[in-house]
Amino acid sequence: MLDYERDNYYSPAPIAIVTLRNPLDHHRTIQVKLLIDPGSDITLLPKWALDFIGVSAQPTTYELEAFDGTRSHAQTVVVDVMFLKVVADGVVLQTLDAVGTLGRDILAGHVIVLDGPNSRWYSGLANSAE
């Protein structure tokens, strides 16, 4: 169970602490904070953290659209995302934002309870790993 983060958000936000691991060198890991965002189709990981563990983006890009219609392109990256004792492997996207986003592609493997009135979140069982 983690309290929502208040310091850097106008409205308290559910933040996950996630371990990123180089799939080719499991000794290279880093923990990052990601915004739990069920409204996001996909997960965006900060480039600075990927650089730290020696994972480089691939030339493939995907076009993204924000709620206001703004479109951007983001490069793909292959990395292990370790969250709540579950490793998700596959393609995610890279962002130069300081804080990334934990999207539905990875949240699909978890049961997450957002306890808004108490400004905290907690996990249930990871159904895909059972």
Partner 1 sequence: MIVLTYPANIEEGKFSLPEGVKVPASARIFILVVTDDEARPVVHMRSPRLAHPEQAKDFVKTFTREEDDA
Residue ranges that bind partner 1, judged by CB under 8 A: 7-8, 17-19, 30-33, 35, 37, 39-44, 46, 48-49, 52, 62-67, 70-74, 81-93, 95-99, 101, 103, 105-106, 108-109, 126, 128-130
Burial 52-67 (b: 16+ CB within 10 A, else e): ebebebeeeeeebeee
Q: Which is nearer to partner 1, 26 or 117 (CB)?
A: 26
Least distance from partner 1 to the Cβ atom of residue 112, Å? 14
DSSP 33-62: EEEE-TT-SS-EEEHHHHHHTT-PPPS-EE
Q: Which is nearer to partner 1, 71 or 117 (CB)?
A: 71
Q: Which is nearer to partner 1, 22 or 40 (CB)?
A: 40
